[in-house]
Structure 1
Amino acid sequence: MNRKSPVYLNALRAFEASARHGSFAGAAEELSVTAAAVGQMVRGLEDWLGLPLFHRSTTGKARLTMTEAAERALPDIRAGLDQLAIGLERLRESATSGILNVTVSPAFAAKWLLPRIDRFQARCPETDIRLETSLRLVDYKAHGIDIGVRYGDGTWPDLIAGKLMDEEVFPVCSPSFSENGRLDVPADLTRQTLIHDLSVDPAIGFVTWDLWLRAAGVFDTQPHRGMRIDNSAAVLQAAIEGRGVALARSILAHDDLVAGRLQRLFPEVAVPSKLAYYVVYRAQYASLPKLQAFRDWLLEEAGAARP
C-alpha cells in the first residue's frame, strides 16, 4: 500500500469481525460500538477500495455474505491484523513489561492459584499478575488476556490448550459431620443434605450427584434436593461449615483435605472427570518470556499439587 494512502485500521478490524460473525451486530458487540458504526466503517472501506466486500440482503436479517474478492483477501487481512497485534504487544511489553494478564474461574483462583501465587512472584519478582476471575469464557483478544486456566475438554477455537491437571470427583464433608451422621455405605448419602455445584454445565460432561451415585451402585433415587451453589469454592466452604455433603472436585478440594478441613467419603469409589484443567493462550503470544515463565510455573505446581 502507498504510504500516503489513508490507513483504514478500524475499518479493517470492522470488516474482519463482520466476516467472522456474519453480521454487523456481532462485530459491533465484539468491538464495543454500534452496528451502524460498523456498517459505516465497512462502507467507507468499500468506497476507498472501489469494490463491495459483502453482498447485502434487503429483506430480513440474513447473515452477511462476503464477495469473492473479500474472501480472497480475508486471510491476508487477518494475518496482517494478527501481526500488528503482536507488534503492539511488543511495544506494550516495553512500556509495561512487568504485567501479565491472567484469567481463571473464581473458584480456581480462591482454592488453587492464590494460595500458590507467592511462589511465582518470588521466582519472577519483575512480573506483576493482573488477575481476571470469571465463569464466562473470556475473549482473550478483546480483553487483552495473555494466558489463563480453563476447565473443560481442551477444545477452544483459536487458542492453544495444554493439559494442566486431570480431576476426580468424590463426596466430602467436615470431620464433625461425618462423626455425627451415619455414612457407612454410599446409599446413606440419600438421607443427607447434598450440596450441588451449579458452576459447570452437566451437558459438557460435568459429574453430578446422580452420576456419582449410579457409579457407586446407588440406583432408584432422585438426589436433587439439598443446597445449590454456583461457585465451587463456596460449595466446599459449605461442606467445611457442616452444611451437608458436597461433591468435590479433587483439585479444588486438595488443600482442604490435606489441612483436615474436609474428609473424603468412600475413597473406594473412583469417578474420574471427563473434564480437566488446561493452560490456555493465543499462539501468537506463545514466545513471550513472561507467558512462558508463568506457563512453566503452573505445570510445575500442578505436578507438585496432584493428590
Structure 2
Amino acid sequence: MKSPVHLNALRAFEASARHQSFSAAAAELHVTPAAVGQLVRTLETWLGTPVFHRGNSGPARLVATEAAQRALPEIQAGFDRLSLGLERLKEGSATGVLTVAISPAFAAKWLLPRIDSFQSAWPDTDVRLDTNLKPVDFVAQGIDIGVRYGTGNWPGLSAEKLMDEEIYPVCSPERLRVNRQLRRPDGLAAETLIHDLSIDGHAGFPTWEIWLGKAGIAGVSARRGMKINNSAAVLQAAIEGHGVALARSVMARDDLAAGRLVRLYPRIKFASALAYYVVYRPECASSPKLTAFRGWLLDEAARQ
C-alpha cells in the first residue's frame, strides 16, 4: 500500500482536531474553512473512513473519531520531526539569512562599523539585525545568535563571554578645552552629567552615583543632569558638548580612537560587573552560519 501524499490534508486534519473547529484551523493555516473541510474529506476518501463525527446540529464542536484521537499524537509528533528536519537542512549550509539579536546601541557603536569584514568573508550569508532593548524569544522570533550584556546567565541559551568592560567619564575635546576644571575630578560638580538609562535597574549596572562613590569623589550630585535610555545617544550627547557622560568602554572605543571623545581621569579604574556575551540555543550550536558568525565575533573582540 502506498503512503499518503496528502500532507496538506493531514495538516488540515491535525489543526482541525486540535482546535475542534474547521474555522479555527482555517485561521491558523491561512485558508478558508471550506478549503479545510475539503482537505479533510480528501483524507477521509483516501482512508476510506471518517475522521470526525458529524451531526446535523449546525456548527457544533468537531469531535474526532476514536481511531483519529489515537492517531493524533503520532501525527503531531511526525509534523514536529518534519519541522526539525527542515531546520537541519537549513542549518547544513552557511548560506541564507542569519538573524542576530543585539541592542540598537551595540549595533551602532560596535557591530556595524565592523560588519563588512564578516560579509566579505561570508558573502552568501545575509545578516538580519533584530535590535531590541528587551530580551527576545529566540525560538518564537527565529533568532539564530545574539549579543547580550549582563552576567552571562540566560535560561535556555548558551553564553560565551565576548568582552569585559570598563566604565569611565568622557567628554568632547572642546568641552575639556573650555572647562579646564574638568581636568580634576572635583570639576564634575559644575558640569552636566549625562546618565545612561538603557538598562537602568539591572543589578550591577554602573551609575554615576556608584562610580563617584568608587572614585571617592564628594560634592558632586549624582541625581541631576541629562538622562537618556540609549547608550549610543549618551555618547553622541557628549560628543556634541552637552556634558560629561559615564561611558562604557566597548561603546566608546571608536569615538576615543577618532578623537571625538576624550577619557577623563584615566588613573581611576572601574571594571563593570557586567560583560558582553555571545548567546545562542545549544541545539543550534553546530549550524555552519552560526558557527561562522560566532567565530567572527570572537576574533573581532580579541583584536580590541
TM-score for both structures, normalised by structure 1:
0.73
Aligned twin of 1:236: 235
8 Å contact from structure 2 (residues 182, 188) kept in 1: yes
How far apart are the structure 2 equivalents of 1:158 and 1:145? Answer: 13
Task: Using the TM superposition, give the Cα deviation of residue 49 of structure 1 relative to its aligned residue in structure 2, in angstroms.
Answer: 5.4
Task: Using the TM superposition, give the Cα deviation of residue 222 of structure 1 relative to its aligned residue in structure 2, in angstroms.
Answer: 3.2
8 Å contact from structure 2 (residues 256, 263) kept in 1: yes
Gaps of 5+ in 1: 15-30, 32-40, 51-72
Q: 2:110 aligns with which of 112, 116, 140?
A: 112
Assess, with a 3 A threshold, how the Cα gap between structure 1 residues 145 and 81 changes in structure 2: closer, same or farther.
farther
Give the aligned residue type for 2:221: Q
How far apart are the structure 1 equivalents of 2:143 and 2:17? Answer: 22
Residue correspondences, number:
254
Aligned twin of 1:204: 203
Task: Using the TM superposition, give the Cα deviation of residue 9 of structure 1 relative to its aligned residue in structure 2, in angstroms.
Answer: 6.6
Task: Using the TM superposition, give the Cα deviation of residue 82 of structure 1 relative to its aligned residue in structure 2, in angstroms.
Answer: 7.6
- Does 1:98 find its partner at 2:96? yes
Aligned twin of 1:48: 69
Assess, with a 3 A threshold, how the Cα gap between structure 1 residues 250 and 95 changes in structure 2: closer, same or farther.
closer
Task: Using the TM superposition, give the Cα deviation of residue 184 of structure 1 relative to its aligned residue in structure 2, in angstroms.
Answer: 3.0
8 Å contact from structure 2 (residues 164, 272) kept in 1: yes
Aligned twin of 2:24: none
Matches within 5 A, 1:53-132: 85-92=83-90, 97-132=95-130
Assess, with a 3 A threshold, how the Cα gap between structure 1 residues 129 and 111 changes in structure 2: closer, same or farther.
same
In the TM superposition, what whole-angstrom CA distance separates every residue of 1:64-115 from its partner, at most 9, and x where no partner exists?
Answer: xxxxxxxxx9xxxx99988655423234458993211111000000000000
How far apart are the structure 1 equivalents of 2:177 and 2:17? Answer: 65
8 Å contact from structure 2 (residues 186, 220) kept in 1: no
8 Å contact from structure 1 (residues 101, 145) kept in 2: yes
8 Å contact from structure 2 (residues 172, 240) kept in 1: yes
8 Å contact from structure 1 (residues 190, 223) kept in 2: no
Give the aligned residue type for 1:112: W
How far apart are the structure 1 equivalents of 2:232 and 2:141? Answer: 25
In the TM superposition, what whole-angstrom CA distance separates every residue of 1:94-152 from its partner, at most 9, and x where no partner exists?
Answer: 89932111110000000000000000011111111011111010111011010010111
Aligned twin of 1:301: 300
- Does 1:178 find its partner at 2:199? no
Give the aligned residue type for 1:139: D
How far apart are the structure 2 equivalents of 1:267 and 1:177? Answer: 17
How far apart are the structure 2 equivalents of 1:167 and 1:145? Answer: 25
Partner SS for 2:113: coil
8 Å contact from structure 1 (residues 149, 278) kept in 2: yes
In the TM superposition, what whole-angstrom CA distance separates every residue of 1:133-179 from its partner, at most 9, and x where no partner exists?
Answer: 11010111011010010111111011111000000110000011011
8 Å contact from structure 2 (residues 194, 227) kept in 1: yes
- Greater gyration radius: 2
Assess, with a 3 A threshold, how the Cα gap between structure 1 residues 82 and 160 changes in structure 2: closer, same or farther.
farther
Assess, with a 3 A threshold, how the Cα gap between structure 1 residues 174 and 200 changes in structure 2: closer, same or farther.
same
- Does 1:261 find its partner at 2:282? no
How far apart are the structure 2 equivalents of 1:12 and 1:80? Answer: 15
Partner SS for 2:246: strand
In the TM superposition, what whole-angstrom CA distance separates every residue of 1:163-203 from its partner, at most 9, and x where no partner exists?
Answer: 00000110000011011111132222122000000001333
How far apart are the structure 1 equivalents of 2:96 and 2:191? Answer: 50
Give the aligned residue type for 1:105: S
Q: 84-93 or 125-134: which moved more?
A: 84-93
Give the aligned residue type for 1:173: C
Aligned twin of 1:57: none
How far apart are the structure 2 equivalents of 1:278 and 1:153? Answer: 8
Gaps of 5+ in 2: 20-27, 29-60
In the TM superposition, what whole-angstrom CA distance separates every residue of 1:6-58 from its partner, at most 9, and x where no partner exists?
Answer: 678769999xxxxxxxxxxxxxxxx9xxxxxxxxx9x98x99359xxxxxxxx
Q: Cα RMSD between the aligned structures?
A: 3.4
Q: 196-205 or 267-276: which moved more?
A: 196-205
Task: Using the TM superposition, give the Cα deviation of residue 234 of structure 1 relative to its aligned residue in structure 2, in angstroms.
Answer: 0.4
Partner SS for 1:243: coil
